[in-house]
């Protein structure tokens, strides 16, 4: 059975840029221009989950993203790896949202898309780490949601999900349509194929402005926030590492043992 | 409009007892309740709550709402939410607190959207602004590279709290509190998910949560084997446990339960030895509560040396066996 899927992808600054380049100025995160935007890590896992389903049963994948100033080559990666459609909620007014206004806008766009069996989200965005938007979309749409999926199969109108729990996993079954939130065990996102890269180059993303999904500027982005960001700051951290030396790495290892004993750490 | 008053902690039970996160939440909630001069309430839901309500009082709660129902034996969002939503609407708390645990991550966002309010997840600090009486919520963002302070005037104000970020009160069994058995109808037809199977995957031996020493390996270990030999040998010697960064868990080298960090376990042992781990902020988020961090990495520029107090630069294949052997010798002496 072909499965109709939507994957919510967020464009974020590379979360694995070295900690030293993250600088807060004026209550905003500023990053040097050489830190490139990427699709968030858990959204890449979500894409992979959708692609695995498409591999087995066929189907259609629509990548959906909300933001502003999308870097086309970055967000089009969703198409290059195998998504069929790309819809961008792109407008200045979408900027600065919180979990509430973001989930609301994405859910409203999904209603406009209309048909879907599975919506995939990542467990948390790779910049604000909130872990809320997926469940928010499910609540707004009134559909069931399963979190922390590391394996997803669709059979007979149901999804069967391996859901990570602290000391193992559960196998959870849910009727579709449903929202599934993906974690990392699903497997790394596949590389784009040449065919995919060409398809992405040709693809014109569909752009929706707030009015296209029937939302007022007061309901979205910074204006639609429920929670106020009072302050963004960086606690000072003094680096104080003592490097234990030795003639060889092995000797350094032995010297570490001596040091640990001397310091009565062990 | 209802008057929002008091603090509600959504408790978690573990083997019939209060989970440690719940005692931490009660510790933090007690302080907030005293500052506001309002009650600290605690919801305990399960198939049988037993003695846990007494414990919750001993750890600081004024009122315990007990909801017992066979379907609550195992946590499922669609059943638990019926309980929490109903109670929250009935008692209109000003603040709702939960743990940033497996259950809290799955549950708190749903409850906040259902109640039409905002939520701040993974808080490290909570306080009450004396003028506005609003909850001041501090949480790490950008993988721990910064922290943000949020407030919201939409009621109830909701937050989840990181495990081990708050201290429980000293248990005091002479404390008084009120236990309110609450009947809430649960519509089982609204439970849209079905748990077919629960599989335990935990490694044998000392649990990460209890281990005084954690020997943790990263992607640089190269495969599953050294986790069972090189790292395990050192961990066993120190009566500790083996842990990992995310890639070894993702690659199936170790069970997911060993994954430490922002999206894994938060640990706080006496000694954390990070081996072939680069020290991404998302990883160190899970171990900076350790008393002493020790790093072994072949790259002298690795970020882990920013968090460590002692370090050795070198390949783990050379450094770790020598460390283990020398320690064996010293510990035997
Ligand atoms: C939202 C989000 C959440 C995340 N959550 C987590 C989390 O909870 N936990 C987590 O760990 N990660 C998490 N990550 C991933 C994190 O950003 C890093 O990708 C990850 O921690 C890297 O793991 P690593 O240090 O093992 O691997 P790498 O970064 O690849 O580092 C390997 C290290 O091993 C060293 N090395 C290689 N060979 C040897 C050798 N022979 N001897 C000694 N040293 C050697 C290298 O010098 C290098 O420093 C998250 C990422 C995001 C975006
Ligand atoms: N701006 C966005 N555009 C598309 N999807 C998003 C956006 N923000 C969040 N999401 C989705 O929601 C998940 C959780 O995000 P968050 O609640 O911000 O941590 C992400 O992994 C995405 O799948």
Is B193's CB within 8 Å of A144's CB? yes
Report residues whose beta carbon is within 6 angstroms of any ligand 1 atom: A 15-16, 41, 124, 126, 129; B 143, 218-220, 245-247, 260-264, 276-278, 280, 282-283, 286, 297-299, 302, 315-317
Which chain A residues are Cβ-neighbours of B262 within 8 angstroms? Answer: 129
pLDDT recorded at residue A239: 78
Confidence of residue B1 (pLDDT cuts 50, 70, 90): low
pLDDT recorded at residue B127: 98
Ligand 1 atom closest to B263 (CA): 8
Ligand 1 mean position, distance from CA B265 (Å) = 15
pLDDT exceeds cutoff 80 at B23: yes
Least confident of A54-63, B113-122, B193-202: B193-202
ipTM of predicted assembly, 2 dp:
0.97
Q: Give the pairing of strands B135-141 and A168-175.
A: unpaired
- Nearest Cβ partner of A226 from B117, B262, B263? B117
Report pLDDT digits (tens) over B41-75. 999 999 999 999 999 999 999 999 999 999 999 99
Q: Which two tokens stand for residue A260?
A: 């640990």
Contact status of A151 with chain B (Cβ, < 8 Å): no
The single residue listed with the structure tokens 């998302």 is: B282
Contact status of A153 with chain B (Cβ, < 8 Å): no
Nearest to B118 by CA among A104, A95, A179: A104
Report pLDDT digits (tens) over A152-201. 999 999 999 999 999 899 999 999 999 999 999 999 999 999 999 999 99
The single residue listed with the structure tokens 């959207």 is: B113
Span B12-35, average pLDDT: 97
> Do A8 and A64 meet the contact criterion of CB atoms below 8 Å apart?
yes
Whole-model pTM over 0.80: yes
pLDDT exceeds cutoff 90 at B24: yes
Confidence of residue B8 (pLDDT cuts 50, 70, 90): very high
Which chain B residues are Cβ-neighbours of A158 within 8 angstroms? Answer: none
C-alpha–C-alpha distance, residues B27 and B167, integer Å: 6
Which chain B residues are Cβ-neighbours of A239 within 8 angstroms? Answer: 305-306
Share the mean pLDDT of chain B: 96
Nearest to A41 by CA among B297, B222, B113, B283: B283
Q: In this structure, which ligand is nearest to the CA of B261?
A: 1
pLDDT exceeds cutoff 60 at B105: yes
b/e for A13-22, b at 16 or more Cβ within 10 A?
bbbebbbeeb
Residue B53 forms beta bridges with which residues? none
C-alpha–C-alpha distance, residues A152 and A45, integer Å: 12
Q: What is the DSSP string of chain A?
A: --EEEEEE--EEE-TTS-GGG-EEETTEEE--TTS-EEE-HHHHHHHHHHHHHHHHH-EEEEEEEEESS--HHHHTHHHHTT-SEEEEEE-GGGTT--HHHHHHHHHHHHHHH---SEEEEESS-TTT----HHHHHHHHHT--EEEEEEEEEEETTEEEEEEEETTEEEEEEEESSEEEEE-GGG-PPPPPPHHHHHHHHH---EEE-GGGGT--GGGSGGGG-SSEEEEEE-------PEEPP-SSHHHHHHHHHHHHHHTT--
pLDDT exceeds cutoff 70 at A119: yes
pLDDT recorded at residue A264: 85
Report pLDDT digits (tens) over A56-93. 999 999 999 999 999 999 999 999 999 999 999 999 99
Q: Name the DSSP class of B3.
A: P
The single residue listed with the structure tokens 């900076």 is: B288
C-alpha–C-alpha distance, residues A145 and A54, integer Å: 20
pLDDT recorded at residue B2: 67
Confidence of residue A238 (pLDDT cuts 50, 70, 90): confident
- My answer on whether omega of the bond before B218 falls inside 30° of 0, hence cis, is no
pLDDT recorded at residue A236: 87
């Amino acid at each position: 059975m072909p499965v109709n899927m939507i994957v919510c992808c967020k464009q974020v600054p590379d979360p694995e840029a070295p900690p030293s380049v993250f600088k807060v100025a004026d209550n905003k995160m500023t990053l040097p221009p050489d830190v490139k935007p990427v699709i968030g890590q858990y959204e890449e896992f979500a894409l992979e989950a959708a692609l695995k389903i498409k591999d087995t049963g066929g189907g259609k994948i629509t990548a959906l993203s909300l933001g502003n100033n999308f870097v086309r080559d970055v967000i089009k990666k969703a198409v290059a790896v195998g998504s069929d459609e790309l819809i961008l909620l792109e407008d200045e007014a979408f900027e600065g949202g919180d979990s509430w206004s973001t989930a609301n806008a994405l859910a409203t766009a999904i209603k406009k898309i209309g048909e879907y069996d599975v919506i995939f989200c990542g467990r948390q965005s790779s910049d604000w780490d909130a872990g809320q938007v997926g469940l928010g979309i499910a609540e707004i749409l009134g559909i069931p949601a399963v979190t922390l999926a590391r394996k997803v199969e669709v059979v007979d109108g149901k999804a069967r999900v391996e859901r990570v729990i602290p000391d193992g996993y559960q196998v959870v079954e849910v009727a579709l349509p449903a929202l599934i939130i993906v974690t990392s065990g699903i497997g790394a996102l596949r590389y784009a194929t040449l065919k995919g890269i060409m398809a992405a180059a040709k693809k014109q993303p569909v752009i929706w402005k707030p009015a296209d999904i029937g939302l007022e500027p007061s309901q979205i982005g910074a204006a639609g926030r429920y929670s106020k960001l009072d302050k963004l700051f960086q606690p000072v951290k003094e680096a104080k590492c003592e490097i234990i030396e030795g003639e060889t790495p092995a000797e350094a290892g032995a010297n570490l043992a001596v040091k640990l004993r001397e310091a009565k750490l062990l | 409009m209802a008057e929002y008053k008091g603090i509600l902690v959504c408790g978690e039970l573990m083997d019939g007892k209060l989970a440690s996160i719940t005692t931490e939440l009660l510790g933090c909630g007690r302080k907030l309740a005293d500052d506001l001069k309002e009650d600290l309430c605690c919801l305990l839901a399960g198939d049988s709550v037993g003695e846990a309500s007494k414990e919750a009082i001993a750890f600081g709660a004024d009122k315990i709402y007990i909801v017992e129902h066979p379907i609550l034996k195992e946590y499922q969002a669609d059943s638990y939410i019926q309980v929490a939503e109903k109670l929250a609407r009935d008692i209109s708390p000003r603040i709702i607190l939960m743990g940033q645990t497996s259950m809290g991550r799955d549950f708190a966002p749903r409850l906040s959207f259902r109640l039409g309010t905002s939520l701040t997840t993974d808080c490290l600090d909570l306080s009450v602004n004396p003028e506005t009486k609003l909850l001041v919520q501090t949480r790490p963002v950008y993988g721990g590279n910064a922290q943000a302070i949020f407030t919201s005037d939409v009621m109830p104000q909701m937050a989840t709290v990181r495990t081990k970020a708050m201290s429980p009160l000293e248990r005091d069994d002479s404390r008084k509190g009120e236990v309110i058995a609450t009947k809430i109808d649960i519509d089982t037809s609204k439970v849209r998910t079905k748990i077919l199977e629960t599989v335990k995957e935990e490694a044998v031996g000392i649990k990460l949560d209890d281990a005084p020493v954690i020997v943790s390996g990263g992607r640089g270990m190269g495969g599953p084997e050294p986790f069972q030999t090189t790292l395990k040998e050192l961990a066993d010697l120190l009566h500790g446990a083996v842990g990992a960064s995310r890639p070894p868990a993702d690659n199936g080298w170790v069970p997911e339960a060993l994954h430490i960090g922002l999206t894994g376990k938060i640990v706080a042992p006496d000694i954390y030895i990070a081996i072939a781990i680069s020290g991404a902020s998302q990883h160190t988020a899970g171990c900076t509560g350790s008393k002493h961090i020790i790093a072994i990495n072949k790259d002298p520029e690795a970020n882990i040396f920013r968090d460590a107090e002692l370090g050795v630069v070198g390949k783990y294949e050379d450094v770790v066996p020598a460390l283990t052997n020398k320690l064996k010798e010293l510990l035997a002496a």
